Every structure is written in C-alpha cells, then in structure tokens.
A and B are shown apart, each in its own frame.
Chain A
C-alpha cells in the first residue's frame, strides 16, 4: 500500500503492560501515520484504554517503547516529557473538565500556561475553539450545566487548544445517543480535514468505527495482544479470524463451545 511514503508519528514497539502479576497485553507493536484517524478497538477488558494511557505516558511501561514524534516517552525525563505533552492533546471519556472553572477558563488554561498571548488574544482563541466544536456562546457555563455530549465537545476544545500534532480521544461515542454520536464523529472528521491532526481513538462503537477510522488495531483479552490490523471495512468483509468477524458482525464468539 502507500504506507512506505507516509510519515509515522507514533510508534509503539513491543509494549507490555502488567498490573502486578496480571499481564494485560504483551509484545504490542504498531505505527500511527501522520494525519490518519487511527482506532484502537476490542471487547471490554482487552486493555484498549490501558494501551492509550501508556501511549500518553500516564502509566509506566513494563517493557517496550512508545515513540511520539521520534522521542521515546518511556525513557524521556520530566522536561522532555513535558515538551512532548504540549504536542499531544487528550480528550477524556467524560470530558475531564475542571468542575470549578467555566468552559472558557478550561480552554484558556493551557493557553495561559504555555503561550505568551495577551488576554484579548486568549479570549479570541477560546471563542474560536468553542465555535469549532459548536459550543459558541457557552463560555461562562460550568461543566455541570452541560449535557454529556457537550462535555465531550468541550473536552475536545480544550485538548485542541494548542493545536496538537496528535489528539487522543477516549471513547468519544460512549454514553451518547446516535445523533450526538454521529455529530461528534463528523466533528472529528472536520478537525482532521481542517488542521490535519493525527487522531487516535479508543472505542468499540461499530458505526463510529466504520464512519471515521482509516485504520484500526484490534486487541483481544485472551490473545493479550493485537489480533487484527488494517482498514475496518476490509476486515469486516474479508477477515478469516472468527474473533474479528464476530466483533464486526456483532455475533457471539464460539457459541458452539
């Protein structure tokens, strides 16, 4: 395929995650290319959220490498890690917004901290970012006054505040109605089309996967690793692996025993 000429931006090599003696996954390797929407999927408990938390440096890795933009974050010191963190944005499952701050203050926080922008310029950027996620006018609202879908979008606006190279999004469709979920999907696509951000998403929402993903990896609890990689639409129609097939076609695995 055209992979060879595309630039990789995140590289995971031989990553193993363990909680105590419980191995979540081992020997996981894959690459994320610049500008693609990459989905990590799998059934409940397969470690997809754990994998994402390793990729953003929240968890310490047992062994293996996670390279973001050429820097191995598993070995980077605090200072380098902080620099890399400015290049990534993370949108959390339920927004991760600070409850005591208004939306504008939430989005302005990274701008205040990491740019030398004047107050007026920050206000302008905040308005733009909120407008980008269709939350124009909600500057002075507190997170508790918003619905679940709005919180996710506000979290997205905050994650996008510094125009990161890579955006990580944990479960964008979880707990949303189909319409809101579809809106969020199209928002993600618009952002990628506009800014060209690489987006890594953790989800198990089938429709959303077929709608937005360029490429996926599928984790499996029993296999403790990746069981499929590639275009989800192709995998749905052509995969011979019963587990992959079952997932994409919503069947129960191994009913016969």
Chain B
C-alpha cells in the first residue's frame, strides 16, 4: 500500500470563531498517520471556537479513516472546541458506530513491564530451582519405571524400543564412524608432529588408543547422540504434549513416562555403548592410517602397540560411562519434551535445551568419572 496523501482538507473561516473544514478524497489506512498529524496541526494552529467538519466530498472512508475522525473529535474536545460532523453519509455513520471508543483509551490488562536486574536474578534463580526439582522428579519417575520394566519386561513396548534403536543407533552409525575416524586421524597427525622430534613416533598408537577408548570415544558419541536423538526425543514428546496426546495417554490409564520415555531410554542404553565401541574402533583406524602412511609403521606394529595399552577393564569403563551418558541424554530429552507448554515456540526451546543440557550433563558426569576411576 502506498503512503501518498489521497485526501484533502480545505479550511474556511466563517466568522465568529467558527471554522469549516471540508474533507475530500479517500481517508484510509494508508494515510492515517498523515491525516492524524495534519488534523492535529490544524486544530492546534487555528484554535477555533467551534469547528464544523464537512464530509460530503469524502469518497472513501475505511475503519482506520473513521478512527482518524474520532481521534480528531477527541482532540477538539480536549481543547474545549465544539466539533460537529456535517453531511455524514449513512456508511460513514455506520462505520464510526463500529468503533468502541472506550477500547481506545483502555489500559492493557496485562503489563509488558520489563523486569529490573534484581527481579531478573530472582526469576532466574527460581527457574533454576524449579528446573532442578522437575529434573529430579522426572529422574525418580524414570528410574522407577525402568526398575519396573526390569522386573516386568512384558510391560515394555519392545517394538518402540526396536524403532528407536534403529533411529538412534543404526542411523547414527555413519556420522559417528566418520567423525571418530577424522578425530583419530587428527590426533595421530598432530601428536606425530611432536613425537617425531624425539623419535618416539611409535607412541602415537598408544596415545590415540588411550585417548579414544577412555575419553574421546564415549564423549564424542554422547555429543552426537545428544544432537541427533536427544533433540528428536524432546521435539517428539513436546509436539505430543501440544497436541494433547500425552493427556490422552494419562486418561487412558497409561503412565506417560513408562509409555514414552522408557522405550527411548532403553534403546539409547543399548545404542550408545555400541556406537561408542564403533567410535573407538574408527578412531583407532584413523590413527592407523596416519601411522602407516605417514610414520612408516606397519599395521602389525601399530595394532600391537595399541593392544598393549587397551585393557578389557578400560573398555569396560568406557562402556559403563556410555550407558550412563545414554540415560542422561535420553532422559533429559524426554524431560524437556514433557515440560513443553504452549505452542510451536515452546517445542523449539525444549529441543535446544535438551541438547545443551544433555551435553552439559555428559561433560560434568565425565569429569566425575575421571576422578572416580583414578581413585578406585
């Protein structure tokens, strides 16, 4: 729409302080602001005793135009000028009758006041506290439901478990493999630059092996799964929440945690350790490529060196960690999903929060494991 002026105001003094304003043309939404400022200026400038507004030559008046006329009347009234509309058409009368004048001056029922810094800190702390409570409550629910599934495995929706196993596990394999392979390659390459100076290139194998198995394998896998599946779980449950599907489950006598979260968590508990093993394997493979092509080691030596540092215990530790990561990632994904209230935007923020909180928890837990494994 254009903002051209499509109306005209003609001013005629009629003596005795009376002024006649003749409006013509189209008074419509496209030029409402021009009309308002011009009318305001005119009333201000002329400041007549009484004002008559002639509408006979107005070609078109929409609701915004009518609003402009009413606004003009209000301004006149505020300056105690008597204002009268003359030659008003039936249509103009009807359209002006549509406007609820009280609505224009009504205060909003809800304030859009911004919080000050102290209120913000308070709000933030309360939110964190509530978040903590709800995570703990959910964790309790989840562990109870998992425990029940352990004793009554027939109650678990195994077809769902298989479905999520495929989603989170099988479909995640290529990206986990690729990233781990490149990671192994990079570590081997960067460390070889240093170790070469001491003629200790052979230690690249053990370095990559230890790094992948004890730290990078589990962590990288957990991060990828958090991004791929934790977010998907949150979005799925969140959307179900918005569509009242979760409420439907409750009314049918199902426990949403058992019905929706347990299959996802169980699937992740199987998928993540397997993916971690793959990750270790591909990472070492990446190191092997650098070792053989760049450092003139034979495949046999490289594998031998790797085997020396990797024990069954270390692999077991790696798997134990990844099972815990799986519970955290899938659990937080489901929990954020269940927290969704409202619409599309809430689903989006739940998804983001699932990934961020998932990765955060994984890293924190990994530090705890590092200390635990060192002293035990």
Q: Which residues of A contact B (CB under 8 A)?
A: 86, 99-100, 102, 111, 114-118, 120-121, 124-125, 127-132, 134, 136-145, 160, 162-163, 190-191, 193-196
The segment out of B89-97, B115-123, B297-305 that lies at the interface is B89-97
Q: In whole Å, how far is A251's beta carbon from the nearest beta carbon of chain B?
A: 33
Residues of B within 8 A of A190 (CB): 98
Tell whether B104 is near chain A: CB-to-CB under 8 Å. Answer: yes
Contacts A163-B29, A194-B94; is A115 near B103 (CB within 8 Å)?
A: no
**Complex CA–CA separation, A44 to B91 (angstroms):** 38
Which one of A128, A142, A193 contacts B94 once the chains associate, using CB atoms below 8 Å?
Answer: A193
Complex Cα spacing A134 to B111, Å = 19
Q: Which residues of A contact B94 (CB under 8 A)?
A: 193-194
User: CB within 8 Å of A: which residues of B?
Assistant: 1-3, 28-30, 32-33, 36, 62-64, 67, 71, 91, 94-95, 97-100, 102-104, 106-112, 341-346
> How long is the Cα–Cα vector from A218 to B123 in the complex, in angstroms?
55
Contact A116 B30 (CB under 8 A): yes
Do A191 and B98 have beta carbons less than 8 Å apart?
Answer: yes
Most B CB atoms within 10 A — which of A99, A130, A194? Answer: A194
Q: Enumerate chain B residues within 8 angstroms of A162, measured Cβ to Cβ.
A: 1, 29
Within the complex, what minimum Cβ distance (angstroms) separates B239 from chain A? 13
Can you give 6 contacting A-B residue pairs, CB < 8 Å? Answer: A99-B342, A125-B67, A127-B106, A128-B67, A131-B102, A131-B103
B95 adjacent to A114 (CB under 8 Å): no
User: CA A69 – CA B104 in complex, angstroms?
Assistant: 33
Assuming A128-B63, A144-B342, A163-B64, is B108 touching A139 (CB within 8 A)? Answer: yes
Minimum distance in angstroms from B199 CB to a CB of chain A: 62
* Measured CA separation A129–B30 after assembly (Å): 16
A117's contact among B29, B107, B110, by CB below 8 Å, is which?
B29
Known A131-B99, A140-B109, A194-B98; further 13 A-B contacts with Cβ < 8 A: A99-B343, A99-B346, A100-B345, A102-B112, A117-B33, A125-B64, A125-B67, A128-B104, A131-B104, A132-B99, A137-B109, A141-B110, A193-B94
B347 to chain A, nearest CB (A): 10
Indicate whether A127 sits within 8 Å of B103 (C-beta atoms), given known contacts A140-B111, A144-B342, A194-B98: yes
Chain A to chain B: the 4 pairs with minimum beta-carbon distance, closest first: A131-B103, A99-B343, A194-B98, A136-B103
Give Cα A117–Cα B63 distance, bound, in whole angstroms.
14
Q: Are A194 and B1 in contact, CB atoms less than 8 angstroms apart? A: no
> Quick check: A195 and B342 within 8 Å, CB to CB?
no
CA distance in complex: A136, B101 (Å): 10
Of the residues B1, B2, B97, B104, contact of A124 by C-beta under 8 Å: B104
Smallest CB separation, A107 vs chain B (Å): 12
Q: How many A-B residue pairs have CB under 8 A?
A: 109
A194/B63 contact (C-beta < 8 A), A86-B1, A131-B100 known: yes
- Contact call B98/A137, Cβ cutoff below 8 A: no
Residues of A with C-beta under 8 A to B36:
120-121
Of the residues A99, A120, A128, contact of B99 by C-beta under 8 Å: A128
Residues of A within 8 A of B110 (CB): 138, 140-141, 145
Q: Are B344 and A195 in contact (CB under 8 A)?
A: no
| C-alpha spacing A128/B96, complex, angstroms | 11
Kindly list chain A residues whose C-beta atoms are within 8 Å of the C-beta of B32: 115, 117, 121, 125
A116 CB contacts on chain B under 8 angstroms: 1-3, 30, 33
Q: Are A138 and B342 in contact (CB under 8 A)?
A: no
B30 (CB) vs chain A CBs: closest residue: A115
Q: How far is the CA of A111 from the CA of B3 in the complex (A)?
A: 12
Which chain A residue lies CB-closest to B98? A194
Instruction: Name the residue of chain B whose CB is nearest to the CB of A123.
Output: B104
A144 touches B112 (CB 8 A): no
B28 contacts across to A, CB distance below 8 A: 163
B364 to chain A, nearest CB (A): 31
Task: Give the nearest-CB partner of B101 in chain A.
Answer: A131
B343 proximity list for chain A (CB < 8 A)? 99-100, 143-144
User: Which residues of A are found within 8 Å of B100, using beta-carbon distances?
Assistant: 128, 131-132, 134, 136
| Least CB distance, B184 to chain A, in whole angstroms | 43
Across the interface, which residues of A come within 8 angstroms of B91, CB to CB? 196
**Smallest beta-carbon distance A158→chain B, Å:** 14
Q: Which residues of A contact B341 (CB under 8 A)?
A: 144
Residues of B contacting A121 in the complex (Cβ-Cβ under 8 angstroms): 32-33, 36
- In whole angstroms, what is the CA distance A134 to B106 when docked? 12
A194–B104 CA distance with the chains assembled, in angstroms: 18
Cα separation A131 to B112 with both chains bound (whole Å): 19
Beta-carbon contact of B33 and A132 below 8 Å: no
CA distance A92 to B76 in the complex (A): 40
Q: How far is the CA of A77 from the CA of B349 in the complex (A)?
A: 37
Q: Are the C-beta atoms of B109 and A138 separated by less than 8 Å? A: yes
Return chain B residues, CB-CB under 8 Å to A137.
103, 106-109
Known: A144-B343, A195-B63. A132 touches B98 (CB 8 A): yes
User: A136–B102 contact, CB under 8 A?
Assistant: yes
CA distance A141 to B29 in the complex (A): 25
**In the docked arrangement, what's the CA distance between A102 and B3, Å?**
26
Most A CB contacts (10 A, CB to CB) among B28, B108, B342 go to: B108
Which residues does chain B contribute within 8 Å of A128, judged by CB atoms? 63-64, 67, 99-100, 103-104
How far, in angstroms, from A121 to B71 measured CA to CA in the complex? 11
**A125–B346 alpha-carbon span in the complex (Å):** 30
B113 to chain A, nearest CB (A): 9
Chain A residue contacts of B29, Cβ below 8 A: 111, 115, 117, 125, 162-163
